[in-house]
C-alpha cells in the first residue's frame, strides 16, 4: 500500500504540473520559454492525464480568456454547470471564431502537436488521447507491474478532473474571493490549492493571464509558479513573465457587487 501511495503521489504531481505548467502557463499563455525537451516533459504529463490535444486545449483556453463568461466562452457556468464541467468537450469541430489557425498559430507549426490534433476533429483527438493514455499504462504494467500502472492511471484520471473543477468552482463568486475588479465571475478559491497546484488563484490569473505567477499575496501558495521559477534559476526556463500589480485594482471581496 505504501509503494502504491508513493507512486500515486509522484504521478499526480507530474500530471497536474503537466496541466498547470505545460498546457496552461506554457502552451496556452506563453508565460515563459524553455527547451523543447522540458516542454515535452510537462506536456506529456498533461496529455497522459487525458487532457486531449494540446492545440485543442490551448485554443479553447485562449478563447475562454478572450470571451470570458460570455456566450462564446467554451465553459462559462453562467450557461449551465454541466456544460461548464464537461459538456464543452463533446463538440465535433471548432466554431469559426475558435479556429486554431487564429487562436493558436504558434502551436500548429509543431509537428508533434499537429499529429495529436488529428486534423482538427475533436472526437478523433479525444479517442487518440484515450487510446494512448490507457495503452501507455499497459506498457507500464508489463514493464513495472500492476501497482505502478494502476497508480499512474488513477492519478491521470483524477488530474483530468482538475481543469473541469476550476472551470466551475472558480467562476462561482460565492465560493471564493476577488483581488481584482472585472466583468467576469472569476474568484480565488483557497481550498483547491493542493489539488490544482496554484491554478485556484483564478481571479488573479484572469487579471494577469500572461503572468507565470497566479498567487500574488504571501499566503497564496502557487506550486506551479515555484516549479517554473526553479526551472528559471536552473537555466531551464527563460523570458519568465512575472509582471503584475496589486495597486488600485485590489479590493476586498465584500466591496465587489455580485455578478449576474
C-alpha cell at 173: 463568486
C-alpha cell at 96: 469559426
What mean pLDDT value characterizes the chain? Answer: 93
pLDDT exceeds 60 at position 259 = no
pLDDT for 83-126, tens place per residue? Answer: 999 999 998 889 988 999 888 999 999 999 999 999 999 999 99
Residue 96 lies in a domain: yes
What Å distances lie between residue 216 and 23, 96, 190, CA to CA? Answer: 21, 36, 13
The tally of domains found in the chain comes to 1
Residues 6+ apart with CB under 8 A from 24: 61, 199, 224
Residue 193 lies in a domain: yes
Residue 260 lies in a domain: no
Determine the pLDDT at residue 258.
Answer: 34
pTM: 0.93
Residues 6+ apart with CB under 8 A from 240: 31, 32, 212, 228, 229, 232
Residue 155 lies in a domain: yes
Range of the domain at 198: 2-255
Residue 18 lies in a domain: yes
Amino acid at each position: 500500500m505504501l509503494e502504491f501511495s508513493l507512486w500515486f503521489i509522484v504521478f499526480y504531481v507530474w500530471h497536474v504540473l503537466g496541466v498547470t505548467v505545460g498546457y496552461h502557463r506554457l502552451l496556452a499563455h506563453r508565460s515563459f520559454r524553455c527547451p523543447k525537451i522540458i516542454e515535452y516533459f510537462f506536456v506529456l504529463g498533461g496529455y497522459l492525464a487525458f487532457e486531449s490535444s494540446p492545440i485543442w486545449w490551448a485554443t479553447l483556453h485562449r478563447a475562454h480568456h478572450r470571451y470570458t463568461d460570455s456566450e462564446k466562452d467554451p465553459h462559462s457556468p453562467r450557461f449551465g454547470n454541466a456544460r461548464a464541467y464537461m459538456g464543452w468537450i463533446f463538440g465535433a469541430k471548432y466554431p469559426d471564431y475558435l479556429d486554431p489557425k487564429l487562436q493558436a498559430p504558434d502551436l500548429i507549426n509543431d509537428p508533434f502537436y499537429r499529429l495529436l490534433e488529428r486534423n482538427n476533429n475533436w472526437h478523433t483527438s479525444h479517442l487518440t488521447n484515450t487510446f494512448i493514455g490507457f495503452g501507455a499504462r499497459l506498457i507500464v504494467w508489463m514493464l513495472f507491474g500492476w501497482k505502478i500502472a494502476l497508480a499512474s492511471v488513477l492519478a491521470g484520471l483524477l488530474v483530468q478532473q482538475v481543469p473541469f473543477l476550476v472551470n466551475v468552482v472558480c467562476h462561482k463568486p460565492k465560493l471564493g474571493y476577488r483581488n481584482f475588479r472585472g466583468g467576469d465571475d472569476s474568484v480565488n478559491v483557497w481550498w483547491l490549492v493542493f489539488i490544482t497546484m496554484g491554478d485556484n488563484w483564478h481571479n488573479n490569473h484572469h487579471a494577469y493571464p500572461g503572468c507565470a505567477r497566479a498567487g500574488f499575496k504571501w499566503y497564496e501558495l502557487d506550486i506551479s509558479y515555484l516549479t517554473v521559477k526553479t526551472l528559471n534559476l536552473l537555466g531551464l526556463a527563460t523570458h519568465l513573465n512575472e509582471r503584475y500589480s496589486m495597486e488600485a485594482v485590489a479590493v476586498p471581496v465584500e466591496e465587489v457587487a455580485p455578478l449576474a
